[in-house]
Amino acid sequence: MQEVYRVTRQVAPTRASVLLIGETGTGKELIARSVHNLSPRSDGPYVRVNCGALSESLLESELFGHVKGAFTGAIDNKTGRFEAAHTGTIFLDEISSMSHKLQVKLLRVLQEREFERVGENRTIRVDTRVVAATNQHLEDEIDAGRFREDLYYRLNVVPVYLPPLRDRLEDLPLLSAHFLAKYAKENRRDVDSFEPGFVDHLSSYHWPGNVRELENYVERAVVLCESPQVPSVLLPPQLRGEAPLRIIRSRSVDLESAIDELTRLALRSASADETNLYDKVVGAVERELIQQVLAATDNVQIKAAARLGINRNTLHKKLKEYKISEDGEESLEAS
């Protein structure tokens, strides 16, 4: 994150386009706002557009505006977001969702700093700084034919990579304390700290929703807290290692075939009057699933826990329960 801050400060005073790359919830919009606020354009407008939230026709009208009668429902002229961001910054979130047609128009704005409203031939010139963001690998989108390579190079003048929260767990105490103070003030709660062990639970989780997920959990805990210290019991079960194993789809693990085969074997070996057949099948599936995921992640337990949708404490409990060694192999005792 120190590198993120350094690059942000360095690029902000320039006119260069910035491409923010990171998973959902890592804080891309906060960096976009910082680029604007630290730039000579800070007195100008800051305009945000979520490119993935609108259809192609609506997004075109939203970005470039339209004139009255341009299409059904265009009852008046409309100023587009690029025009509204003149002398300021426009933040294009989820840029990979933009259609090929709009990518061509965006490329022209970046190159020529001009465009036409929908339904109008008059050219409008703008002085707008573009900051784009994506949670996709645009190189893969280019290879798949979904994103223009020339547009990518125009946007990717200065790339800024935002790390996922699971790769910066040392920031959890500062982030959680910040959100605690923020939501205690907003909700008028007399809460000033976490009980011992609270942050330890946070450190054992894999954070698929990143900082946004952390903020949500801290806010909920503050709102429900009835004492000066936030207790760990207000965290959701998956953060406390109490959530059941959640089977998820994975490109690296053939879950369906594993479940089918294990169920068939369990049924074949079970006697007709066996009462724990359900537990036997579920246990066999869980054991095989954990071993397959460990193998697919090269026995890196934090990655395996993330893929399984559980935290590391729960994974350790499952390894002990099913007598699976740390390298993913089933022990002789279990067999």
State in Å, rounded, how far the first CA of the chain is from the last one: 46
In a domain, 249, yes or no: no
What six digits make up the tokens of 64? 């470039």
Burial of 305 (0-12, 13-18, 19+ CB in 10 A): buried
Q: In terms of domains, do 26 and 70 share one?
A: yes
Polymer length of the chain:
335
Whether residue 189 sits in one domain with residue 145: no
Regarding whether 99 and 24 lie in a shared domain, the answer is yes
Last residue of a domain, one of 187, 215, 239: 239
Q: Flag whether pLDDT at 268 surpasses 80.
A: no
Domain count, the chain: 3
Cβ burial of 243 (10 Å; 0-12, 13-18, 19+) is middle
Q: Which two tokens stand for residue 241?
A: 């290692």
Q: Is residue 247 part of a domain?
A: no
> Do 144 and 24 reside in the same domain of the chain?
yes
pLDDT at 331: 46
Confidence of residue 92 (pLDDT cuts 50, 70, 90): very high
Cβ pair 182, 214 in contact under 8 A: no
Instruction: Tell whether 292 and 221 lie within a shared domain.
Output: no
Taking residues 177-198, what's their average pLDDT?
Answer: 94
User: Is 264 within the bounds of a domain?
Assistant: yes
Residue 178 placed within a domain: yes
Same domain, 220 and 263: no
Residue 76 in domain: yes
CA 189 – CA 223 distance, rounded (Å): 7
The CATH number covering residue 180 comes to 1.10.8.60
Residue percentage of the chain with pLDDT more than 90: 53
Q: Is residue 248 part of a domain?
A: no
The reply to whether 329 falls in a domain is: no
| Residue 202 belongs to a domain | yes
Question: What are 17-54's pLDDT values in tens digits?
Answer: 999 999 999 999 999 999 999 999 999 999 999 998 88
Digit-coded pLDDT (tens) for 104-122 = 999 999 999 998 888 888 8
- Asked if 222 and 278 sit in the same domain, the reply is no
H or E element in which residue 114 lies: strand 114-116
User: Comparing C-alpha atoms, which of 320, 314, 254 is closest to residue 289?
Assistant: 254
Q: What is the pLDDT of residue 248?
A: 44
Q: Say which CATH number the domain at 46 has.
A: 3.40.50.300
Q: Are residues 171 and 156 in the same domain?
A: no
Q: Is-contact 118 60, C-beta < 8 A?
A: yes
pTM (2 d.p.)? 0.71
Shared domain for 134 and 15, answered yes or no, is yes
Domain of residue 283, CATH code: 1.10.10.60
Cβ contact 117:64 at 8 Å: yes
Residue 249: phi and psi, rounded to 5, are: -80, 145
- pLDDT category at 255 given cuts 50, 70, 90 is low
139 and 263 assigned to the same domain: no
Which of these three, 146, 163, 180, is where a domain ends? 163
Structural domain of residue 265, as residue ranges?
255-321
Indicate if the pLDDT at residue 333 is higher than 60.
no
On whether both 186 and 214 belong to a single domain, the answer is yes
194 plus 207 within the same structural domain: yes
Q: Which of 239, 264, 298 is the last residue of a domain?
A: 239
Q: Please, is 16 exposed, middle or buried when counting C-beta atoms within 10 Å of its C-beta (0-12, 13-18, 19+)?
A: middle
Q: How confident is the model at residue 328 (pLDDT cuts 50, 70, 90)?
A: low
Answer whether 253's CB lies under 8 Å from 213's CB: no
The CA distances from residue 155 to 51, 95, 96, 314, in Å, are: 15, 10, 11, 42
